[in-house]
Amino acid sequence: MFAISPVQPMLFEQRPIFVKRDDLLHPDFSGNKARKFYHFLSQDYAHITQLVGSGSAQANSLYSMSVLAKQQGWQFDYYVSHISDFILQHPNGNYAAAIANGANIIEVGQLKLADKYQQMHLDDVVQCIVASDYNNKNSLLHIPEGGRCEYAETGVAILATEIIDWARLRNTKALKVFLPSGTGTTAAYLNKQLLQQQTNNNINIEVLTCSTVGGDDYLRQQFSQLVAQEYFPTIVNDGHKYHFGKLTQRCYEMWQTVCQSGIEFELLYDPVGFLVLKHYLQQHSQWAGDIVYVHQGGVLGNQSMLPRYQRKFGYSE
């Protein structure tokens, strides 16, 4: 269904690393959405008529789910906690593209919900709404926020196979695979699959990830909902606490630096990923194996993130 994504060399912090270009997998299901939603694209879901999702109004997954729903002819309801006035007045990026695909975006704050819902996490609120407000349960597919569900493993397993095949061809003996985490779904399943698929253990592979949302403990908690502890990836950090979506000069500068390689990275996860990777490499300067950074796509979101950065910190050349 998807071609094998290419691996490209790039110079980072004066050392070669390799970028697994999952962003090139598909224009609509770029990066980890292609992996996470592969299951729904490859299996028979003819009985489904209604898709329900949730997350932020600018999420990459909103756009990919809207394409999935459009392709399959499903109704698509997507719940958000809040839509900013700016996006409502200037729809762009993932939000505008999803609406163009027919997504029905519902602001939970505007619904008349019982008080008990006020303190609940969006995913849990949506679970309750699905249970009470939708009659068509047999034809309904609910994908939790960020595609955090067991179905994601089917496609991430293919990513693991591609990485192992690449490493074997290169005769790599030691490999560190780095990818920034949101829900941790991609990193957790990738590590599990790399460990399970490499039965002869002839390549020493370690998956490194960092938190971009909620800190290391929160990420570990997310892993525990998906995989057994033996499959938890290594969480690394650079001592900074990152607030998801917060615009910082450090992130903006790192994004500008890595984009000079000629590869466009995205602005929410990748700047944090590269800042943490930089710190890790400084701490492990003697390490001589290969490093693969997984580009998880999402550059459509730059259409809205970049103008926000430019308004705050000025234009890059």
Ligand X SMILES: Cc1ncc(COP(=O)(O)O)c(C=O)c1O
Residue 204 Cβ vs ligand X, minimum distance, rounded to whole Å: 24
Q: Which position among 182, 190, 271, 292 is part of the footprint of ligand X (CB under 6 A)?
A: 182
Query: Contact between 66 and ligand X (CB under 6 A)?
Result: no
Of 14-22, 242-250, 295-303, 308-316, the window that binds ligand X (rule: CB under 6 A) is 295-303
Task: Give yes or no for a contact between 211 and 236, defined as CB atoms under 8 angstroms apart.
Answer: no
Q: How far apart are CA 229 and CA 270, in angstroms?
A: 26
By CB under 6 A, tell whether 186 contacts ligand X.
Answer: yes
Contact between residue 177 and residue 295 where contact means Cβ atoms under 8 Å apart:
no
Q: Judged by CB under 6 A, how many residues of this single chain contact ligand X?
A: 18
In this chain, which of 78, 79, 231, 269 binds ligand X, going by CB under 6 A?
Answer: 269
Distance CA 258, CA 28 (A): 23
User: In the complex, which residue's CB is closest to ligand X?
Assistant: 298
Q: Give Cβ neighbours of residue 210 (< 8 Å, ≥ 6 apart).
A: 180, 181, 235, 236, 237, 238, 272, 273, 276
Q: What value does the CA radius of gyration of the chain take, rounded to a whole number of Å?
A: 19
Q: Is 93 in the site for ligand X (CB under 6 A)?
A: no
Query: Closest distance between ligand X and the C-beta of residue 116, in Å?
Result: 27
Give the CA distances from residue 259 to residues 10, 95, 213, 280, in Å, rounded to whole numbers and listed in that order. Answer: 10, 24, 23, 20
Decide if residue 155 touches ligand X (CB under 6 A): no
If one asks whether residue 94 binds ligand X (CB under 6 A), the answer comes out as no
When asked if residue 185 is in the footprint of ligand X (CB under 6 A), the reply is yes
Quote the CA–CA distance of 300 and 309 in Å, as a whole number: 15
- Residues of 216-249 as b/e, b for ≥16 C-beta within 10 angstroms? eeebeebbeebbeeebbbebbbbeeebeeeeebe
Smallest distance from ligand X to CB 206, Å: 17
> 307: phi > 0 → left, psi -120 to 50 → alpha, else beta; which?
alpha
**Closest CB to ligand X among residues 167, 233:** 233
- The least distance separating ligand X from the CB of residue 62, rounded to whole angstroms, comes to 10
Check binding of 266 to ligand X (CB under 6 A): yes
- In the complex, least distance from residue 308 CB atom to ligand X, rounded to whole angstroms: 16
For residue 276, the 8-state DSSP code is H
Length of the chain: 317
* Residue 53 touching ligand X (CB under 6 A): no
The residue range among 7-15, 44-52, 183-191, 251-259 that interacts with ligand X, by the rule CB under 6 A, is 183-191
Q: Contact with ligand X (CB under 6 A): which of 17, 297, 302, 306?
A: 297
Q: Which of 19, 22, 32, 236 binds ligand X (CB under 6 A)?
A: 32
Whether residue 8 contacts residue 263, with contact meaning beta carbons closer than 8 Å, is answered with: yes
Residue span binding ligand X (CB under 6 A) among the ranges 84-92, 225-233, 253-261, 292-300: 292-300
Tell me which residues touch ligand X (CB under 6 A). Answer: 31-32, 60-61, 146, 180-187, 266, 269, 296-298
